């Protein structure tokens, strides 16, 4: 076990540096079944005076059903040299491939039996506290976004999770 619990505040500068450079793995499920996917959209901040992590998942994604059926999810950031893993997890569906097995990932479990990966540089365990579908009617500056967004699938569902545990190598 390389990851150990840390205070979230110690990760904050690192998280802002990493988002956008190392796409994290979003994972949901439990000890009986799970799925993971690479995500490009992820936010960290405070809402209702709680530390939160916000992720976005399209309904067509296999991970969506796990996000809907479980109260917890995790965000794991793998080291930069794990690009093959994030590439596979971003291009293959869990319907067709056991991504955890294919990538040789070691699953650990946090609060709510939320799965995350021991190979991560750091991981956040989050309890869902708010869910809402994105709405194209709410997009401002529609000329910049609407012509390009949504062509590959539906609008994302927004999941806000209270960060209840943080792990770091």
Confidence at residue 21, expressed as pLDDT on a 0 to 100 scale: 74
Q: What are the φ/ψ torsions at residue 96 (nearest 5 degrees)?
A: -110, -25
Average pLDDT over residues 30-34: 97
Interior angle at CA 168, CA 163 and CA 169, nearest 5: 165
Q: Residue 74: give its domain's CATH number.
A: 2.30.110.10
Confidence at residue 22, expressed as pLDDT on a 0 to 100 scale: 79
pTM for this entry: 0.89
**H or E element that contains 100:** helix 99-103
Report the C-alpha gap between 110 and 126 in whole angstroms. 9
Band of the pLDDT at 142, cuts 50, 70, 90?
low
Confidence at residue 146, expressed as pLDDT on a 0 to 100 scale: 75
Q: How many domains are contained in the chain?
A: 1
Average pLDDT over residues 152-167: 91
28 lies in which domain range?
A: 4-168
CB-CB contact of 54 with 17 (8 Å): no
Confidence at residue 15, expressed as pLDDT on a 0 to 100 scale: 66
């Amino acid at each position: 076990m390389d990851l150990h619990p840390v205070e979230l505040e110690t990760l904050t500068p690192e998280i802002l540096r990493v988002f956008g450079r190392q796409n994290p793995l979003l994972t949901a499920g439990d000890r009986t079944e799970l799925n993971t996917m690479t995500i490009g959209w992820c936010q960290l901040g405070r809402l209702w005076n709680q530390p939160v992590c916000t992720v976005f998942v399209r309904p067509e994604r296999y991970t969506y059903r796990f996000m809907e059926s479980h109260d917890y999810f995790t965000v794991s950031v793998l080291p930069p040299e794990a690009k093959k893993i994030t590439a596979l997890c971003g291009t293959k569906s869990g319907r067709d491939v056991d991504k955890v097995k294919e990538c040789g990932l070691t699953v650990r479990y946090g609060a709510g039996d939320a799965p995350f990966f021991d190979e991560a540089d750091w991981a956040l365990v989050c309890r869902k506290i708010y869910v809402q579908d994105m709405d194209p009617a709410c997009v401002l500056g529609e000329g910049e976004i609407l012509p390009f967004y949504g062509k590959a699938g539906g609008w994302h569902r927004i999941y806000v999770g209270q960060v209840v545990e943080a792990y770091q190598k």
